[in-house]
Amino acid sequence: MRELDTKYEHKKVETDKYETWLEKEYFKAGDTSKEPYSLVIPPPNVTGKLHLGHAWDNTLQDIIARYQRLQGKDVLYLPGMDHAGIATQARVEERLKSQNISRYDLGREKFLEVSWDWKNEYADHIREQWGKMGLSLDYSRERFTLDSGLNDAVNKVFVDLYNDGLIFQGYRIINWDVEAKTALSNIEVIHKEIEGNFYTFSYNVVETGEKLSVSTTRPETMFGDVAIIVHPDDERYQHLIGKNAVNPANGDVLPIIADDYIDIEFGTGVMKCTPAHDPNDFDLGKKHNLEMPIIMNPDGTMNELTGKYEGMERFACRKQLVKDIEDAGNLVSIEKHVHQVGHSERTDAIIEPYLSKQWFVKMQPLAQDVLDNQKEDGIDFFPQRFENTFDRWLENIEDWCISRQLWWGHRIPAWFHNETEEIYVGLEAPEDIENWTQDEDVLDTWFSSALWPFSTMGWPEKTEDYDRYYPTNAMVTGYDIIFFWVARMAFQGRYFTDSKPFDDVLIHGLIRDETGRKMSKSLDNGVDPMDVIEEYGVDALRYFLTTNSTPGQDMRYIPEKVESSWNFINKIWNASRFVMMHISDGRYDIEEAKLSQVDRFIIDKFNKTLKLVSDNMDKYEYANVGTEVTRFVWDDFANWYIELSKTGLQSDDETEVYATKATLSYMLKNILIVLSPFMPFVTEEIYTHIPNSLESINLETWPKALDVETSDLNQVEFVINAITAIRELRVSYEVKPSKPLNAILLDSNDATFKLSNTLEAMFKSMARVSIVDAVDSSLVAPIVGGSVVLDKEEMVDKEALKVKLLAEEKRLNQEIKRAEGMLSNTNFISKAPESKVNEEKAKLEEYKRQLKLVETQLKDV
């Protein structure tokens, strides 16, 4: 059996393993003898490299997949990528621009060829990064949101929703991105607080010569004004209703009309109406049958309706127009005004409310179906509070604008007759195609992403994968796309498969920098996960990402914590080397071993840890898993059992030696299996060095508790506490570790604590003491379950002892006060589990017992 390297070198450990795993098809789903379990990767955009957020998201999924495989399930972890319409097209156009080429120079078909080349290039990068992360994906089932199968699914969904009256085309005020030149849905708009101006202008009443003060934050839209509106009950303006006022921007005469929409108390109580450039004005325009002139081009420049301002960029027009109105004497005031302004999520351009003919999904009935189902057999959210976020959004949902003025994406399966303008929507083009023109627009990226859990399984065909793996078991995603994606998957799943798309949704937060700021290009505080892997290894990164935050909470990237994860792995490596030195000579079976107290002690500790770990794995509480595993491996196994095992390894009794080696082998193997979902590379490396292990840790099963006799294990716990106390006293009182001491061991009733012969020998050797019946002058160290009494004269002078005893007395009094406070709190008593209350009561009694011992010593000092 080859030896484990002296040092843990992550680069060496991680080399070639992933390729071997794929070659051996460890991650390929399809074993029908097992219970199926499935999850689909949230498809990353083919726009660039994966970031730290992807690494977190993907590692959480991979932990779930690996854990479920260890549970004996047939796991499908399905990979795929998203075509990311706006984002990818923008990146491709940016590359073409650097070559002095525009997409219009190429034409649609050639541009799409270039876009597919981009996709293939970046898909290779993404797969390489998935490999670096160790994701246990089944690449034989990889999908792309723009592949032919998903295109068929998208077209069917569009056609069915259209035929069912849930997709319609109409004029609405939409969010227009003037840089991408496309419509956006409401949730693709990011609102930012910016300082602007509140402009008030004077509109002259034609019939009376009166002046009306009208305010706006967007003067450039005044060219689209079609009316002045006042409240019908506003006595200030009732006499002007039916009259006309002059628009100071262009001299147009506007009717003064009344509507109770107007807030009499707000501003001057007079509002201009611009139906083509404001959603509220659009509703008023429809109500009063007003014209709806569009005064801006799709690129954000002013059009022919703006006269001399035609061709000007919208904000340049604003500046010039305000100056011209001021010169004409019709500017009343300009006030600083801080307000929320919508920006494009993709290009960061300020959104232009814009009247446009677009395709929409009628959302209310789809959302209501999901809400009704949530009450019966709904999706389970982890943490549960995000279900409220999910429900609130569905309850207040608006129709979804799904058309995008792009070339890269699923082209809308709708055709317009060249002469009659009749609309045809279908899976196939019209037979007399020469008489029809297909809609130029493509669908919102999220339209295809919403079908991801079932379209990737072959839907609309009833494939074997669809029947076996859908609905999926779990979805992992960030709280920032609950609306974008989770809600849309939910209603498309309900409508087209009559099922929720997944049982559970695990929600994680955002990764921030050390100071809590969101990572962004503008702040230049992003972290490339590949750089972290280069420095610390992927296992350290994975362990850090998944054990340092609870579900739904943001996490800060702190390099020192990644280093701590590396240190933990190094601890495991060194402990493994110790074990390998003693088990490399053969096979050691725990079932055949006659286990000592110490062996049974570590197995019992592992059993308890395993129960906590399994429970928390099932609840996706990986931070709790990390706490329990790290404590057990670092403290119980590496620090204590390995040290205690040396007695058994050096024994003259071959039975005892065999049992110790069997326990070391059993414990190491099971520790590696439990850790393998988090750190697959290093656990594989160590595991394959264990004699008679399987070909790979990927073929293992989750450990089961091994029943052991526990009635006498309190002795081991007592010995560990006693050794710890003596070592701490040696350090505290500057007594050399090598100096022999006399000690008395007492139980909680101050009777002699009886140890087995083996444990007594271990205790004497490790604590460097002799056990005696009496000492001349007592120095008592209270420990859980009793106390250790040393000879004061061997230890310290009285003054130093008094200081230490007073400090301990103070600490114990504080603990007693805290415990009594908790136990007198009615909320704690009524709400805490009975086990927790009993635990606190036991602690209080123990603190009181220890305090009594300290007080007794103080009297003698």
Q: In what order do the strands lie in the sheet with 167-177?
A: 182-184, 167-177, 352-361, 400-401
Tell me which H or E stretch contains 828.
helix 826-831
CB-CB contact of 204 with 228 (8 Å):
no
pLDDT of residue 302: 97
CB count in 10 Å sphere of residue 26: 16
Report the pLDDT averaged over residues 738-755. 91
Q: Could you report the per-residue pLDDT of 808-849, keeping only the tens digit for each?
A: 999 999 999 999 999 999 888 988 888 889 999 999 999 999
Closest to 350 measured CA to CA, from 510, 225, 178: 178
Measured in whole angstroms, how far is the alpha carbon of residue 191 from the centre of its chain? 22
Q: Which two tokens stand for residue 464?
A: 């074997």
Q: Could you report the per-residue pLDDT of 45-97, keeping only the tens digit for each?
A: 998 788 999 999 999 999 999 999 999 999 999 999 999 998 899 899 999 99
CA distances (Å), 780 to each of 109, 736, 740, in order? 87, 19, 17
CA distances (Å), 583 to each of 571, 649, 703, in order? 19, 11, 20
CB-CB contact of 521 with 590 (8 Å):
no
The SS3 assignment for 747 reads strand
Q: Could you report the per-residue pLDDT of 339-366, keeping only the tens digit for each?
A: 889 999 878 899 999 999 999 999 999 9
State the Cα–Cα distance between residues 212 and 535, nearest whole angstrom: 68
Q: Which two tokens stand for residue 233?
A: 């009950």
Q: Please say whether the dihedral angle defined by the alpha carbons of residues 526, 530, 531 and 533, taken in this order, is positive or negative.
A: positive
Q: What does pLDDT average to over the chain?
A: 93
Neighbouring residues of 324: CB distance < 8 A, sequence distance ≥ 6: none
Q: Which two tokens stand for residue 459?
A: 């839907």
CB-CB contact of 191 with 226 (8 Å):
no
Residues of the chain with pLDDT > 90: what percent? 82
Report the pLDDT averaged over residues 153-172. 96
State the Cα–Cα distance between residues 170 and 168, nearest whole angstrom: 7
Q: What are the phi and psi torsion angles at 793 (to 5°)? A: -65, -25
Do strands 414-417 and 423-425 pair parallel, antiparallel, or not at all (unpaired)?
Answer: antiparallel
Closest to 760 measured CA to CA, from 776, 744, 781, 738: 744
Place of tokens 């190491």: 668
DSSP H helices, 239-313, are 279-287
Check pLDDT > 80 for residue 800: no
pLDDT class of 600 with cuts at 50, 70, 90: very high
Check pLDDT > 90 for residue 692: no
Q: Could you report the per-residue pLDDT of 530-580, keeping only the tens digit for each?
A: 999 999 999 999 999 999 988 989 999 999 999 999 999 999 999 999 999
pLDDT class of 188 with cuts at 50, 70, 90: confident
pLDDT class of 796 with cuts at 50, 70, 90: low
State the Cα–Cα distance between residues 78 and 55, nearest whole angstrom: 16
State the Cα–Cα distance between residues 810 and 813, nearest whole angstrom: 5
Q: Could you report the per-residue pLDDT of 245-295, keeping only the tens digit for each?
A: 999 999 999 999 999 999 998 889 999 999 999 999 999 999 999 999 999
What is the DSSP code string of 594-626? ---HHHHHHHHHHHHHHHHHHHHHHTT-HHHHH
pLDDT of residue 797: 61
Place of tokens 């509109």: 203
Q: What are the phi and psi torsion angles at 815 (to 5°)? A: -65, -40
Q: Which two tokens stand for residue 572?
A: 């495991």
Q: pTM of the predicted model, to two decimals?
A: 0.85
Report the pLDDT averaged over residues 658-668. 96
CB-CB contact of 573 with 540 (8 Å):
no
- In one letter, which amino acid is 302? M
